[in-house]
Amino acid sequence: MHHQMVAFEVMNLSMLSKQDWSNCVLELSLVADIIVVATRVAVALAQGNWYIVETGRKDGYFSSITEAEKNLPPPTISVSNAIRLFGSKGLSANDFVLLLGGGHTVGAIHCSKFLDRLYNYQNTGRADPSMNSATLTSFRQRCKGVLEIDQRIASDVQTKSTVSRLAYSGDFATQFGYAMINLGRVGVLTQGPVRRNCRRNN
């Protein structure tokens, strides 16, 4: 996230005083493209592969966290529903496994996202029975855990063969890059503004 904020500041063209915008052709969107470019940098910093980034997006007129969250799968989503959600965006089941597996290996999960698995799974007053006692004790002591959907993709009939193949093929990083390219094509705007300032409309 820090690197994304730096990218926003560096690319915020409004900070270039007295710029003659009438003679300036902007080919890189300050919001949509920069997020994608900064994400690639973050992946590389996390020891991932450097992959191609397609640019040329237009920016939207407004941003809404409520609208964004509608497209984010909850940690308790089933594999079938997750595949359908990704499919509605033009992404395959293979993309889903790669993006979930790659994206969730970076950073840390907030306790609130998996506490129910440790103490009150599905309101039973007990821990998730799919975790063995040693794992459960470790997670409780450190307040760390695995999201339910992350565990499910390794055992669900629709995804377990993909997980197994990626675990032993040695090309996960390359395949993850391809999936990120596909993700970068979701919801691309080809009509609209190119913001001169990341924080507001022109």
39 is in an annotated binding site: no
Which residues, including other chains, have CB under 8 Å from residue 155's CB and lie 6 or more apart?
A: none
Residue 3 labelled as part of a binding site: no
Is 150 annotated as contributing to ligand binding? no
Q: What are phi and psi of 200, to 5 degrees?
A: -155, 165
104 annotated to bind ligand: yes
Instruction: Report residue 4: phi and psi, to 5°.
Output: -65, -40
Buried b (16+ CB within 10 A) or exposed e, 25-51: eeeebbbbbbbbbbbbebbeeeebbeb
Calculate the dihedral angle through the C-alpha atoms of 114, 145, 176, 88, rounding to the nearest 10 degrees: -10
Cα angle 40, 45, 46; round to 5: 95
Residue 174 marked ligand-binding? no
Q: Residues comprising the binding site for Ca(2+)?
A: 105, 156, 159
Annotated binding site for heme b: 104
Binding residues for substrate: 73
What residues form the annotated binding site? 73, 104-105, 156, 159
